[in-house]
């Protein structure tokens, strides 16, 4: 028989590892675009992981009937969203400016559109999942309270 503390520790370690991997993917995306001057299309795997990681987390929480929404968490998550968007904007501007400096015939439309689609998807998924978590959190709380009475 397994001890509950051991199972909880394993789950916590896996959770922390997934966050480390997500940050690693974000750093990889920035290094590829800023240091190695790769185009945004060459970083499509990182792009997809950064978009679908929170979506997967959202789907699994829904399947397990767990909501992580809180009023305090809402404020900090919005602050984190703005920080992430700020970093992405600065990185993309630096990438585009460097590319324009190195080539007089640089087509800046494609990266700007690619970046715009990324930001729109990122923000849309953030707000949709946050709104749904808020709704589900209250629903689960009511459902579990009704079960206890």
Residue extents of the structural domains in the chain: 4-148
The model's pLDDT over 95-109, given as tens digits with 9 standing for 90+, comes to 777 777 777 676 666
Where is pLDDT greater, at 115 or 64? Answer: 64
Tell me the whole-structure pTM to 2 decimals. Answer: 0.60
Structure confidence by residue, pLDDT tens digits, 61-93: 888 877 766 665 567 777 777 777 787 777 777
143 CB-contact burial (10 Å; exposed 0-12 / middle 13-18 / buried 19+): exposed
């Amino acid at each position: 028989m397994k001890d509950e503390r051991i199972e909880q520790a394993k789950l916590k370690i896996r959770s922390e590892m997934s966050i480390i991997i997500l940050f690693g993917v974000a750093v990889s995306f920035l290094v590829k675009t800023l240091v190695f001057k790769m185009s945004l299309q060459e970083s499509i795997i990182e792009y997809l992981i950064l978009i679908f990681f929170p979506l997967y987390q959202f789907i699994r929480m829904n399947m397990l009937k767990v909501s992580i929404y809180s009023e305090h968490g809402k404020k900090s998550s919005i602050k984190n969203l703005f920080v992430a968007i700020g970093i992405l904007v600065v990185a993309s501007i630096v990438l585009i400016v460097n590319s324009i400096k190195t080539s007089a015939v640089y087509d800046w439309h494609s990266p700007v559109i690619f970046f715009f689609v990324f930001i729109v998807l990122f923000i849309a998924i953030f707000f949709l999942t946050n709104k749904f978590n808020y709704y589900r959190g209250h629903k689960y709380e009511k459902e579990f309270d009704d079960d206890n009475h």
